[in-house]
Amino acid sequence: MGISIGEITRGMTILKDGELYEVLEFEHVKRARGSAFVRAKLKDLRTGRVVTETLRDSDDIEVAFMETRPLQYLYRAGEKFVFMDKDSFEQYELPQDMVSDIAGYLLEGMDLQGLFYQGEMVKVVPPNFVDLKVVEAPPGVKGDTATGGEKPVTLETGLTVKVPLFVKAGDVIRVDTRTGAYVERVG
């Protein structure tokens, strides 16, 4: 059953012309003459490619219902990331381009959620917050507020995050995986 363009929301998974997409951004456009449409940035969940599409009510768009399963991140094997279903112990591999946006948050043994469409794993969702160790941090210069009192640090996964000046190498910090922002120092 198709949906109207007015029902589209950010984060929704849709089927358009048989392809599976996640809605990353959207903007409703209503013109004085002519019909309204939605300009949307969509991520192809099978290839990881991001496209910009103009969606109209005449398009065949359906909501794709996703199954969620608990997963554990096992390891990285070259260009593939390996996950295990915590219930069935079945292992799944995703190519690097499918997890590139969350790879910097993944630690071996971490629990996360896998999204499946018709039995095929198409996306991995990390917890909202992860605790990661700072491995490289430049010294904070007291009075250096030109950058808003922040400095970039490198975490154990290779991710770079801006943090307050008092954070140093060896500290464990909490990072919001949805925004990539520093939340607090936890150890």
pTM of the shown model: 0.77
Percent of all residues in the chain with a pLDDT value above 90, rounded to a whole number? 50
Q: Which of 163, 22, 170 is nearest to 101 (CA)?
A: 22
Confidence class of residue 9 from pLDDT cuts 50, 70 and 90?
confident
Amino acid at the residue 5? I
What is the pLDDT, as a whole number, of residue 146?
Answer: 54
> What are the φ/ψ torsions at residue 98 (nearest 5 degrees)?
-85, -20
Q: CATH code for 5-63?
A: 2.30.30.30
The predicted-structure confidence for 154-168, as pLDDT tens digits, reads as follows 999 999 999 998 999
Confidence class of residue 85 from pLDDT cuts 50, 70 and 90?
very high
Give the C-alpha distances (Å, rounded to integers) separating 38 from 4, 6, 23, 35, 153.
10, 8, 11, 10, 39
- Given strand 13-16, what is the order of strands in its sheet? 50-55, 37-44, 19-29, 13-16, 61-63
CA distance 131 to 28: 37
Q: Say yes or no to pLDDT of 5 above 90.
A: no
pLDDT averaged over the chain? 88
Residues of the chain with CATH 2.40.50.140: 67-125, 129-185
CA distance 113 to 177: 13
What does the CA dihedral 20, 96, 49, 183 come to, rounded to 10 degrees?
90
Q: Which of 58, 63, 11 is nearest to 38 (CA)?
A: 58
What is the pLDDT, as a whole number, of residue 1?
Answer: 58
CA distance 100 to 157: 12
Residues of the chain with CATH 2.30.30.30: 5-63
CATH among 3.40.50.300, 1.10.1740.10, 2.40.50.140, 3.40.920.10 for 129-185: 2.40.50.140
The predicted-structure confidence for 106-153, as pLDDT tens digits, reads as follows 999 999 999 999 988 988 999 999 999 999 988 866 665 555 688 999
Q: 67-125, which class in CATH?
A: mainly beta
* Strand-pair category, 120-125 with 19-29: unpaired
Q: Which of 146, 130, 135 is nearest to 186 (CA)?
A: 130
The predicted-structure confidence for 37-60, as pLDDT tens digits, reads as follows 889 999 888 888 889 988 888 888
- What are the residue ranges of helices labelled H in 32-141? 96-99
* Strand-pair category, 13-16 with 19-29: antiparallel
